[in-house]
């Protein structure tokens, strides 16, 4: 389940709480966070929408747009947003896709194979519809995460993952375990020492195959 890394996201036409558009047009030349929910008015997802609403300004500074998706109607989305704002003391400004036909969920491989009619589905039936995609400005999937129904997503980690994806897309580096923006990174194994001297000048190498350098950004 879920789209493969480096695959182009399907250019689905969507109806959202903020209008209708093709997803590629919405993304433009920005990065994107696409995150899905099993159903409106579910408790964990209500906290998640609020958490991301609080982070939206930080994501905007990273040239990253946010869009959510749930299988319910726009009317339900608008009512749910009021709850989210109240519970989390926030303002949801990003669009939420109304995927009543399940077209988007199917195109983005968010559903199990044994689909059920919408009017008989529950949050439990949609358990696999809790996916996060980090999408690059080239409209390709850079990272994909799936979560169970009972575990709220850590959006600080998703921000960290976005920082890593943007860093490694711009520079010939990889990020080590538990890396945070501003910390040392690793020169990509595909970069020869001669090339590394031109790109990074110097590095620390505890082992021949590990080369640590300061954050190049």
Task: Write a three-state SS string for the chain.
Answer: CCCCCCCECCCCEEEECCEEEEHHHHHCCCEEEEEECCCCCCHHHHHHHHHHHHHHHHHHHCCEEEEEEECCCHHHHHHHHHHHHHHHCCCCCCCEEECCCCHHHHHCCCCCCCCCCHHHCCCCCCCCCCEEEEECCCCEEEEEEECCCCCCCCHHHHHHHHHHHHHHHHCCEECCCCCCCCCCEEECCCCCHHHHHHHHCCCEEEECCEEEECCCC
Give the model's pLDDT for residue 110.
Answer: 85
41-88 residue pLDDT tens: 999 999 999 999 999 999 999 999 999 999 899 999 999 999 999 999
45 is catalytic: yes
pTM for the model: 0.90
Residues (pLDDT < 70) of the chain are 1, 112-129
Of 3, 27, 45, 52, catalytic: 45
């Amino acid at each position: 389940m879920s789209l493969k890394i480096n695959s182009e996201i399907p250019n689905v036409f969507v109806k959202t709480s903020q209008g209708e558009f093709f997803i590629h047009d919405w993304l433009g030349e920005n990065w994107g966070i696409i995150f899905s929910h099993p159903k409106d008015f579910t408790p964990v997802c209500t906290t998640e929408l609020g958490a991301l609403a609080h982070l939206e300004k930080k994501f905007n500074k990273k040239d990253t747009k946010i869009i959510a998706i749930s299988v319910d109607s726009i009317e339900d989305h608008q009512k749910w947003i009021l709850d989210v704002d109240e519970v989390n003391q926030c303002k949801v400004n990003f669009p939420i896709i109304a995927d009543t036909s399940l077209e988007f969920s199917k195109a983005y491989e968010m559903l199990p194979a044994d689909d059920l009619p919408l009017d008989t589905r529950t949050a439990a039936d949609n358990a696999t519809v809790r996916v996060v995609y980090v999408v690059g400005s080239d409209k390709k999937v850079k990272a994909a995460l799936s979560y169970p129904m009972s575990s709220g997503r850590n959006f600080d980690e998703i921000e960290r993952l976005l920082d890593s994806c943007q860093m490694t897309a711009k520079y010939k580096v990889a990020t080590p375990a538990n890396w945070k923006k501003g910390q040392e990174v690793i020169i990509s194994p595909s970069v020869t020492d001669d090339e590394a001297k031109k790109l990074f000048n110097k590095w620390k190498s505890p082992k021949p195959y590990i080369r640590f350098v300061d954050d190049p950004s």
